[in-house]
Amino acid sequence: MFRLVTGIPGPSGFGSASTAEQVTQGIDASNLTLVITGGAAGIGFETARVLALRNAHVIIAARNMEAATDAKQKILKQNDRARVDAMMLDLCSIRSIKEFAERFYALNVPLNILINNAGIMFCPFQLSEDGVEVQFATNHLGHFYLTNLLLHKMKETAKLTGIQGRIVNLSSVAHNYTYKKGINFDKINDKRRYSDKKAYGQSKVANILHANELSRRLQAEKANITVNSVHPGLIMTNLFKHSATLMGFLKLFSFFMWKNVPQGAATTCYVALHHQLKDSTGKYFNDCNEYKPSKLAKNEDLAKKLWDFSNKLIDSALAKNAETSL
């Protein structure tokens, strides 16, 4: 807490006051291609902007193509040499994710970094297109499926180039505030037991569990790819649209804990790009430093159960989509 409030750097040399530009200063990413979900606004846009500034080829994957195209133009206006593209992706739809992956593979470009950034927060109860509670579907399941589909390209790129691939899952300190068992596997769609805050926390602990389990599996394969999760910090963005009044009130009493957008994008950019993180995998970062997540987030059995559960949900959605297309 002391470092958060004061901004004093941690062991990495960076801290809560560091910005995305500062943590990537002097890094040339011209040999890297990355996909970032939700890169059209908020900390996602700042992440995309800064990584493009460091010469990476940035592919913004977003549901709102008008906003994504506008984000691309803003980046190009600031940096006319930037390599940035925008592609349609709705993480709340298994069909859309599959179509995105197909279009991405058709580009025939490498993939070094995947940043699973997009998310929704504190939503009223609703189901996704595939019949899954929408926060879990968007924040976890969509990214889980997207990562699975793009993993072959990342392995191929790492093998051909010798450059270590990196996957970054955006979680949140809110992963500490979830349902008692962490994930309500048998009640994922139970409207009666639904809590918008705990459902969000559930999706965020799932982000860490996913990163940790994928990291273990990739290490077992000896694949040259790392997987880590991050807490960007408290930032007032469009994520709070369902609770803006409450968050605004709370911010009055906790203003010293909040970050601006450039600071909010720092940890993601640090974990995605900095040379200090070579070979670092299966870890959780906060304020650009390694941090201990909750016990539930470190539970290997829970992570394995979530992995199998997620695959079953995806298989079910794919089967239903196949039936409707007949």
- In SS3 terms, 118-174 reads as CCCCCCCCCECCCCCEHHHHHHHHHHHHHHHHHHHHHHHHHHHHCCCEEEEEECCHH
d(CA 31, CA 216): 27
Residue 193 is part of a domain; what is its CATH number?
A: 3.40.50.720
d(CA 239, CA 138): 13
pLDDT of the residue at 71:
98
Q: The tokens 């994957």 sit on which residue?
A: 61
Domain total in the chain: 1
d(CA 199, CA 122): 8
pLDDT of the residue at 257:
52
Check 145, 179, 194, 284 and give the catalytic one: 194
d(CA 69, CA 100): 16
pLDDT of the residue at 247:
45
pLDDT of the residue at 236:
55
Return the number of other C-beta atoms located less than 10 Å from residue 258's C-beta. 17
pLDDT of the residue at 235:
77
d(CA 30, CA 57): 7
Can you give the pTM of this predicted structure? 0.92
3-state secondary structure of 42: helix
pLDDT of the residue at 252:
43
pLDDT of the residue at 324:
79
State which residues form the domain around 290.
2-325
Convert 236-248 into a string of H (helix), E (strand) and C (coil): CCHHHHHCHHHHH
d(CA 208, CA 228): 8
- 194 included as an active-site residue: yes
Per-residue pLDDT of the chain (326 residues; tens, 9 = 90+): 445 444 688 999 999 999 999 999 999 999 999 999 999 999 999 999 999 999 999 999 999 999 999 999 999 999 999 999 999 999 999 999 999 999 999 999 999 999 999 999 999 999 999 999 999 999 999 999 999 999 999 999 999 999 999 999 999 999 999 999 999 999 999 999 999 999 999 999 999 999 999 999 999 999 999 999 999 988 755 554 444 454 444 444 434 456 999 999 999 999 999 999 999 999 999 999 999 999 999 999 999 999 999 999 999 999 999 887 66
3-state secondary structure of 58: strand
